[in-house]
């Protein structure tokens, strides 16, 4: 259920102000310390950001997809590390549970996910399973009647997950593990609390950009997962993961678009102020060409994101459209960031101006939640299926 227009507009205005006045001034500090300050995390909890997409019955705001992407567009106007704090709760960490969870599973976890008391992570990728996610090697072996709750079955989960966003903060993982045959049909999804014995988290990786957002390995060593924690039936895990990613890709496309819009605004402000040959560089047509190309990229990305969100809200499948939105918007923000560095010239390469930081930050978008090449593959397959 979408919010009423006034309530939603007020929320959007609050977030816009929060991004501009509270988050943007902290960008370089967060990058330097590789940490979003705890008081910011608490403010995000208080604003309800962890529960944007969680149904109202479970304490969230229950936004529809159009509302969610409009908020993601605003949050894109600052370092992506801020969104990442609650991004997994809104998206890939919670949506398997929202889509495929039983009433009991939802009642146990969703209220605390909505408040941000519980941080969630999505554990699909492995050292040997990146783009080929149907090849996950993490195993879940069912043991009858040996569970911590006497008489209940458990699965013994063993394997390593890689580059897991928010793993060091998470208290709940959605883990895709093999329960059956090779390939997609042998994969099941599990809710795995981080405090079960045998779960260990690696140290946060050193990354090219997006400092403040952490990714770690997660190791599972014979972890006893109650059978009641399986999401859906055995063998449904891959489909659940793909549906979660369809939605996640659209959200990421919105974030990319927000950053592109911010970079256009920064480029314009700089071009108007910076003078060369006796006038603002904005007066030069070769600079104007870059501004025109970036503006067009940002506008096209926004249109694609909003149209895809409306389709989803109308109940249509969006596998193709979400892949196209993510593909276009992530590539577009890469081009826009590159032009922003060019318009800023020497200053674009200097850390104080923040443009080089965003240039590094946006590089990840063409890789995670499916590389551009995987999006191309999905778009082509779906287009061929539809006959055009």
Residues that bind ligand COS (CB under 6 A): 92, 122, 124-125, 131, 133-134, 184, 238-239, 242-243, 245-246, 319, 368-370, 374, 377-378
Query: Could you give the CA distance from residue 107 to residue 172 in angstroms, rounded to a whole number?
Result: 14
CB of 53 to ligand COS, least distance (A): 16
Burial of 314 (0-12, 13-18, 19+ CB in 10 A): exposed
Q: Please check whether residue 62 is in contact with residue 54, taking contact to mean a CB–CB distance below 8 angstroms.
A: yes
CB of 31 to ligand COS, least distance (A): 22
Query: Could you give the CA distance from residue 27 to residue 353 in angstroms, rounded to a whole number?
Result: 11
Q: Please check whether residue 321 is in contact with residue 308, taking contact to mean a CB–CB distance below 8 angstroms.
A: yes
What interhelical angle do 80-90 and 355-363 show, nearest 10?
30
Q: Which is nearer to ligand COS, 242 or 300 (CB)?
A: 242
Q: Which is nearer to ligand COS, 261 or 321 (CB)?
A: 321
CB of 78 to ligand COS, least distance (A): 22
Query: Which one of the listed residues 67, 108, 126, 369 is annotated catalytic?
Result: 369
Q: For residue 228, report the phi and psi dihedrals to the nearest 5 degrees.
A: -65, -10
CB of 122 to ligand COS, least distance (A): 6
Query: Could you give the CA distance from residue 333 to residue 329 in angstroms, rounded to a whole number?
Result: 6
CB of 14 to ligand COS, least distance (A): 29
In DSSP notation, 3-58 reads: PPHHHHHHHHHHHHHHIIIIIGGGHHHHHHHTS--HHHHHHHHHHTGGGTTS-GGG
Q: Which is nearer to ligand COS, 53 or 267 (CB)?
A: 53
Q: For residue 138, report the phi and psi dihedrals to the nearest 5 degrees.
A: -60, 130
Q: HSE-up of 382 (CA within 13 Å, CB side)?
A: 15
Q: Please check whether residue 54 is in contact with residue 98, taking contact to mean a CB–CB distance below 8 angstroms.
A: yes
Backbone CA torsion sign across 331, 337, 343, 345: negative
Residue at token pair 């590539």: 331
CB of 188 to ligand COS, least distance (A): 13
Q: Which is nearer to ligand COS, 15 or 92 (CB)?
A: 92
Residue at token pair 């920064």: 266
Q: Which is nearer to ligand COS, 65 or 271 (CB)?
A: 65
Q: Which is nearer to ligand COS, 239 or 295 (CB)?
A: 239
Q: Please check whether residue 200 is in contact with residue 151, taking contact to mean a CB–CB distance below 8 angstroms.
A: no
CB of 250 to ligand COS, least distance (A): 12
369 counts as catalytic: yes
Residue nearest to ligand COS (CB): 370
CB of 133 to ligand COS, least distance (A): 4
Q: Which is nearer to ligand COS, 44 or 241 (CB)?
A: 241
How far does CA 137 lie from the centroid of its chain? 24
Enumerate residues 6+ apart whose C-beta is below 8 A from 287.
271, 281, 343
Q: Which helix (H) or strand (E) holds 157?
A: strand 154-165
Q: Which is nearer to ligand COS, 167 or 298 (CB)?
A: 167
Residues known to be catalytic: 369
């Amino acid at each position: 259920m979408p919010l009423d227009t006034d309530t939603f507009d007020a929320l959007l205005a609050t977030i816009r102000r929060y991004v501009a006045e509270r988050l943007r001034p902290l960008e370089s500090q967060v990058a330097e310390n590789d940490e979003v300050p705890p008081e910011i995390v608490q403010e995000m909890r208080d604003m309800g950001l962890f529960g944007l997409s969680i149904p109202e019955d479970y304490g969230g705001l229950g936004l529809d997809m159009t509302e969610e992407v409009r908020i993601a567009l605003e949050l894109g106007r600052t370092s992506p590390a801020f969104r990442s704090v609650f991004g997994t709760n809104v998206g890939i960490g919670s949506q398997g549970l929202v889509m495929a969870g039983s009433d009991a599973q939802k009642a146990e976890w969703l209220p605390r996910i909505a408040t941000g008391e519980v941080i969630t992570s999505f554990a699909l990728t492995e050292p040997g399973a990146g783009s080929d996610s149907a090849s996950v090697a993490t195993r879940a072996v069912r043991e009858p009647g040996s569970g911590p709750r006497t008489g209940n079955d458990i699965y013994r989960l063993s394997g390593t997950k890689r580059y897991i966003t928010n793993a060091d903060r998470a208290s709940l993982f959605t883990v895709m593990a093999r329960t059956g045959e090779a390939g997609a049909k042998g994969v099941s999804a599990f809710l795995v609390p981080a405090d079960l014995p045998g779960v260990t988290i690696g140290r946060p990786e050193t990354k090219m950009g997006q400092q403040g957002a952490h990714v770690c390995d997660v190791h599972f060593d014979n972890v006893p997962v109650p059978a009641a924690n399986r999401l859906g039936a055995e063998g449904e895990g891959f489909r659940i993961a793909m549906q979660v990613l369809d939605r996640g890709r659209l959200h990421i496309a919105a974030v990319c678009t927000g950053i592109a819009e911010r970079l256009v605004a920064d480029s314009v402000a700089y071009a108007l102020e910076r003078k060369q040959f006796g006038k603002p560089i904005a007066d030069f047509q070769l600079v104007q060409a870059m501004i025109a190309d970036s503006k067009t990229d940002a506008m096209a990305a926004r249109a694609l994101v909003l149209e895809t969100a409306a389709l989803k809200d109308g109940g249509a499948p969006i596998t193709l459209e979400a892949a196209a939105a993510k593909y276009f918007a992530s590539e577009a923000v890469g081009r826009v960031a590159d032009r922003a560095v060019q318009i800023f010239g020497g200053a674009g390469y200097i850390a104080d101006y923040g443009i080089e930081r965003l240039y590094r930050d946006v590089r990840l978008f063409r890789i995670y939640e499916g590389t551009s090449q995987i999006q191309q593959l999905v778009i082509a397959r779906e287009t061929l299926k539809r006959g055009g």
